[in-house]
Amino acid sequence: MKLSELKRQEEGVIVKVHGHGAFRKRILEMGFVRGQTISMVKGAPLKDPIQYKIMDYEVSLRKSEAQQIEIITEAEARNATNRKFNGILTSDILKISASEKSKKITVALVGSPNCGKTTLFNVASNSKAKVGNYGGVTIDTHEAKFKQDDYSLIITDLPGTYSLTAYTPEELFVRKHIVESAPDIVINVIDASNLERNLYLTTQLIDMDIKVIIALNMYDELEDKGAKFNYDDLGKIVGIPIIPTISSKGKGVLELFKKVIDVYEDRDKTVRHVKVNYGPIIEESIEAVQNKVESNHSLTDKISARFLSVKLIEKDSNARDLIKDCSNYEDISETAVREISKLEAEIGDDSETLLTDAKYGFIAGALKETYTVGHIEGRKKTEIIDGLLTHKIWGFPIFIFFMWLMFQATFTIGQFPMNWIESLVALIGDTLSQYMTGGMLKDLMISGVIGGVGGVIVFLPNILILFFFISLMEDTGYIARAAFIMDKLMHHLGLHGKSFIPLVMGFGCNVPAVMATRTIESRNNRLLTMLITPFMSCSARLPVYILIIGAFFPDNPVTVLFSIYMIGILFSIMVAMIFKKTLFSLEEVPFVMELPPYRIPTLKATIRHMWGKGSQYLRKMGGVILVASIFIWSLTYFPRDAEYSMDYDEAIFQLEADFNSKIKVSSPDDLNELMAEKESRLSQIRLNKESERFERSYIGRMGHFIEPVLKPLSFDWKMGVSLITGMA
């Protein structure tokens, strides 16, 4: 609980002190350290500030300051552990529990898109979050808990972001998480093959004055280029410990989280707060704004005054919103505007550009002392492959060929395991039919469970093959090239090249595809992409397509399947053009998208992604589809006391009697013919009986109920039943 929640005369022990900068330094110097006992004396008449007793002296804190201090009370201590405290003093109980609770470390993973952040998260926590070789894979937060030595680590994988500027939803989300959730440690994951660009985010984390560790990921790629990098010296320059990692192989991950514990316990000597030097002119403006901001302790206890001042000079809209509740809001705002005007007039450039240039200048200076460039063979290989795959003439036909190949493999290769599973399902059904006694349970198992779930599970191989190819395109980096190829076409539709990635993801599942649109900066383009994504045929529709194609187009299955997907794409293009001219105004957004280097995906990762999606399909079969199958079976099976238009049992009895008398007087040559005719007529009577029973069942009555609505379409009650069951 927070110190601000402590009741009068109640006692607790300090577990953690959040906040940073001057507040944290001041509060620690006053004795508010981990393990120290504190009690509430009283609150002011207006309940703020609050008087506390610590180390035999009394001190008053504002409520906002007390909210930055985490404590544990006796009641919490006894509830939080199963340990028996018989005979132990209350103060000792609190200190033991505070010590245990203080060993819970919250960690946030922050980094640019495609830096291997989610791979690191998966390796560290043994999780299976989605990864890919393109930006915007992490479209939500992933959280996991694991043990490291005696410590419990709660690690959160945040969406990839190039900076902490309030430009895209991801950037704002990550910034809010760091400020509001206040993780104990932030791990800044950096792509070692692209240091300069990745360190830009690091400079903003430095301004935030928080505990940071740099994970120098993909370090093997840096070494493969022959580059030399003294990361220890760079760590000393920026005041942040740096640990090289190769997360795809699990190398360096253990050392990284050991360093997390060292930094958390303030045992690492590298850690110190440095200031990114923006140059004397800009520093003067930052200081002028910072002097106005620092008087608002309720704000600066949570977020660095310097970071906020830099963002105000960068004209950051979210930073302006944060200062609106400040008592001297007008003064801060006027100072920021004045300093921006002074900078732009004096240097002759936009203030945001000036600060960005200064950050890159700081990075260049730090790398000059520590980094030596090697050969660039890896980039040359990427350029050679790009020369073909993104060629102005051949790029688009190659992309179309890859898409056709994906559907060709989905249908042709998938046909073999599909037949095997179909035979297995039939065998299970025949076995149950042979050994189970007749009745409702037998009908439920064969017609409801086996017929329902078994009829859908046969399409699992097709879905797995489709996801295998999508995962392959993602992991190799080709999906980003596809967006590059499609940008001009997308532009004519009023969309962005980045819209292509969610649309391709829609072939797998529309839900994550819609979530992936958050990487699109323009609100209009984001909404438009969301609206047309459902036109992409997701994997749930694939079984229906295969069933229809197998029934009506058995000679050209691949061409028809490809055409169905293309028709969906054409419809999405038409709708996009209509919506862009009617609902959404024209909004030009620059096409800025990273083209990552090509990487050979590991078979394990690709299969894991494929199976992750396939397992969702299986869970759906075991849950929604199973329940729906049983529900539809119930509507079909009941009621059992239906009134028939004729006595079918009597008709069967009479038919058998007539044929038996004919068989007795027939010649041996006519016997086989009579037996065949008898079975044929018996089957027809039974079929008529079952058809009438089906019509009088609950599902049949529902079909008759909606038949008047379907009459104008020339649909009868049977088509109505098909529509109802199709909805399930």
Quick one: which of 317, 315, 356 has its CA closest to 336? 315
pLDDT band, very low/low/confident/very high, at 428 (cuts 50, 70, 90): very high
| Contacts for 428 with CB less than 8 Å, ≥ 6 apart | 450, 454
Quick one: which of 490, 179, 527 has its CA closest to 171? 179
Domain 103-264 top-level CATH class: alpha beta
| Contacts for 634 with CB less than 8 Å, ≥ 6 apart | 448, 698
Give the whole-angstrom CA distance, residue 479 versus residue 500.
9
What are the DSSP calls for 52-95, one per residue?
EEETTEEEEE-HHHHTTEEEEEHHHHHHH-----TT--HHHHHH
Q: How many CB atoms lie within 10 A of CB 224?
A: 14
**Candidates 2.30.30.90, 3.90.1170.50, 3.20.20.70, 1.10.1060.10; CATH matching 3-100:** 2.30.30.90
How does strand 212-217 pair with strand 185-191? parallel
Burial class of residue 527, CB neighbours in 10 A (0-12, 13-18, 19+): middle
Instruction: Please report the pLDDT score of residue 80 as a whole number.
Output: 54
Burial class of residue 531, CB neighbours in 10 A (0-12, 13-18, 19+): middle
Q: Who wins on pLDDT, 591 or 39?
A: 39
Percent of the chain predicted with pLDDT > 90: 18
What are the DSSP calls for 155-223, one per residue?
EEEPPP-S-SSTTSHHHHHHHHIIIII--SEEEEEEEGGGHHHHHHHHHHHHHTT--EEEEEESHHHHH
Confidence check: pLDDT of 133 > 50: no
What are the DSSP calls for 704-715, one per residue?
HHHHHHHGGGT-
Side chain identity, residue 208: M
Q: Who wins on pLDDT, 685 or 621?
A: 685
Average pLDDT, rounded, for the chain: 82
Secondary structure (3-state) at 13: strand
Give the whole-angstrom CA distance, residue 387 versus residue 360.
30
The encoded tokens of residue 484 equal: 């590059």
Side chain identity, residue 154: I
The encoded tokens of residue 248 equal: 């795809």
Instruction: Please report the pLDDT score of residue 325 as a whole number.
Output: 85
Phi, then psi, of 33 in degrees rounded to 5: -115, 160
Secondary structure (3-state) at 147: strand
Is domain 280-372 classified as CATH 3.40.640.10? no
pLDDT digits (tens, 9 = 90+) for 210-240: 999 999 998 988 888 888 899 999 999 999 9
Burial class of residue 107, CB neighbours in 10 A (0-12, 13-18, 19+): buried
Query: Which runs of consecutive H residues, i.e. helices, occur in 447-509?
Result: 451-457, 460-476, 478-492, 500-505
Q: How many CB atoms lie within 10 A of CB 57?
A: 9
User: Measuring CA to CA, how many Å separate 109 from each of 116, 138, 453?
Assistant: 10, 11, 40
Confidence check: pLDDT of 190 > 90: yes
pLDDT digits (tens, 9 = 90+) for 143-172: 888 888 888 899 999 888 888 886 777 788
Phi, then psi, of 154 in degrees rounded to 5: -110, 110
CB 189 within 8 A of CB 117: yes
Instruction: Please report the pLDDT score of residue 206 as a whole number.
Output: 94
| Contacts for 323 with CB less than 8 Å, ≥ 6 apart | 293, 296, 299, 308, 312, 329, 332, 333
**Residue showing tokens 């800025």:** 592
The encoded tokens of residue 583 equal: 């609902």
Q: Which part of the chain is CATH 2.30.30.90? A: 3-100
Q: Which of 280-284, 365-369, 583-587, 666-670 has the lowest mean pLDDT?
A: 583-587
Q: Which part of the chain is CATH 1.10.287.1770? A: 280-372
Quick one: which of 178, 163, 174 has its CA closest to 208? 178
Confidence check: pLDDT of 465 > 50: yes
